[in-house]
Each structure stands twice: as structure tokens, then as C-alpha cells.
Amino acid sequence: YQQPWAPEVPPEQTFECAITVN
């Protein structure tokens, strides 16, 4: 995910995406 701070996506999903990408 490019924008983990995107207001469209919830913080929980963003965190998961970040972990997966990282």
C-alpha cells in the first residue's frame, strides 16, 4: 500500500497492509 494514512481506509486495515508490504 502506498498511502497507509489514506482517510478512506481504516487504520486497522492500513496497519495490516503495511505489515504485509513490509
For 1-22, the pLDDT digits (tens) are 556 565 665 666 666 665 555 5
Cell of 10: 481504516
Buried b (16+ CB within 10 A) or exposed e, 1-22: eeeeeeeeeeeeebeebeeeee
Question: What is the pLDDT at residue 22?
Answer: 53
Q: How far is CA 12 from the centre of its chain?
A: 7
Question: What is the pLDDT at residue 5?
Answer: 60
Question: What is the pLDDT at residue 17?
Answer: 60
Question: What is the pLDDT at residue 10?
Answer: 60
CB contact at 8 A, 14 and 1: yes
Question: What is the pLDDT at residue 4?
Answer: 59
